Structure 1
């Protein structure tokens, strides 16, 4: 598994690089998230108990279920999976998780590559003609799809002047009572998570499922941004004069000072990639 493998037909996993490459491009994973994926892939199709995953990935550290839950949520985000109708990772209630997508070794795939040209030369003429017909059919399907999309676009732009514009929908993501108000909140760049602060500390909500976990020892902190890759929460701890920036890891709960410091009287906003603060 450490040499790389495929999950399904479209996702190429490189554990040594902590990367997953799929239709949406290459995504870098935190090392612990990758280790969870490797454990699941090594026993693809089988239920892997939560306890075994935590002993394997965090052998010398005590962690709670929330840490593993965040790893699974991150993997689902990378694979574009749905917790209610999973195609990759299935939750087995009160037990563990199961990788239900097919897993194949990259080695076999790569060894087959050098022989492709020779195999092509040996294809019979009838098979080649069949392939050409299939290619023409595929081109026809693509053209018909383009015509259909173009027709929809033209129809949508011809909406009468009196027709009402599309209405935005508002969804409430928190349910804090009036005496326990949310003091700050930020949605992750990909929309998967909501990080918000209230008097008890910083909470992280998985927007699709509603699962919410509190990050320990964050009471009094506020959320002001996310990192550009969506793996860290930018938080601020303020005293009477100075605010200090902190980076909180979404997985594992580790934290470090970000190096950002500003007067408590200043209002700051973060650049979209979370790399700079603007006053």
Structure 2
């Protein structure tokens, strides 16, 4: 399936999601989400209601570039806030205790399709959205990493110099 075959829009419950624009829309209300939020939302929507554990989300959405103690929990909380969802009475994303997260709302892409095609299309949307957001996000992260490494190297050099002298 080529890039042009992938629908640019899917729905989750009553929200219309446009990954390339990073937007969710409902009844005239439009919200722009941060790249990581749209990546995770699109990824979960592409799993067809399966339970996805935290480690799988970290592996597939963060690709080893995460900071802080619990980026998955914080990201899911922000997605829920954007969708007006409640963790205690979820309509879109449910927490499966000690297992992970699961989309419980109906997910549709590009109109009615057979079940197997629908999952492939939504998964393809996720891959394209993730690729484009990674290109945007990668450069600032690399610059930050280089700055931190240079600063750490300078700190180590100063410590060694002060211990010797």
**TM-score, with structure 2 as normaliser:** 0.60
Bigger Rg, structure 1 or 2: 1
The secondary structure found in structure 2 opposite 1:17 is coil
| 2:19 aligned with 1:23 | no
RMSD (Å), alpha carbons? 2.2
Which segments of 5 or more consecutive residues in structure 2 lack a partner in the other structure?
A: 1-5, 113-143, 145-165
Supply the distance in 1 between the matched residues of 2:19 and 2:40 (Cα, whole angstroms): 11
Q: Between Structure 1 and Structure 2, which shows a larger proportion of strand residues?
A: 1
SS of residue in 2 equivalent to 1:47: coil
**Aligned partners of 1:25, 1:68: CA distance in 2, in Å?**
26
Counterparts in 2 of 1:17-56, with a 5 A limit?
Answer: 17-23=21-27, 25-56=29-60
Q: Which residue pairs with 1:83 in the alignment?
A: 87
Check whether the contact 2:52–2:101 (CA below 8 A) recurs between aligned residues: yes
Structure 2 residue aligned with 1:178: none
Per the TM alignment, residue 33 of structure 1 is displaced from its structure 2 partner at its CA by 0.6
Q: What is the number of residues matched between the two proteins? A: 109
1:108 maps to 111
Mark the CA change 1:72 to 1:2 in structure 2 (over 3 Å): closer, same or farther. farther
Report the Cα distance in structure 1 between the residues aligned to 2:30 and 2:36, rounded to whole angstroms. Answer: 18
Measure, in 1, the Cα distance between the counterparts of 2:38 and 2:7: 10
Q: Distance in 1 between matches of 2:8 and 2:69?
A: 29
Query: With CA pairs under 8 Å and 6+ residues apart, which has the higher RCO, 1 or 2?
Result: 2
**1:76–1:24 CA distance, 2 compared to 1 (3 A):** farther
Extract unaligned runs of 5+ from structure 1. Answer: 110-254, 256-279
Mapped partners of 2:84, 2:78: distance in 1: 10
- Rounded to whole Å, the distance in 2 between the matches of 1:2 and 1:58 is 24
| Preserved contact between residue 54 and residue 63 of structure 1 (Cα < 8 Å) | no
Shift in Å at residue 34 of structure 1?
0.5
| C-alpha distance after superposition, 1:25-46 (max 9, x if no partner) | 1101000010000110001311
Once the two structures are TM-superposed, the CA of residue 52 in structure 1 deviates from its matched residue by 0.8
Q: CA deviation at 1:23?
A: 3.0
More deviation, 24-33/54-63:
54-63
Q: Structure 1 residues 5 and 60, CA, compared in 2 at 3 Å: closer, same or farther?
A: same
Conserved 8 A contact 2:58-2:64: no
Please identify which structure carries the higher helix content: 2
- Answer yes or no: is the 8 Å Cα contact 1:15–1:34 preserved in 2: yes
2:70 to 66, 69, 72: 66
- The CA deviation at 1:64 is 4.9
| 1:6 and 2:11 aligned | yes
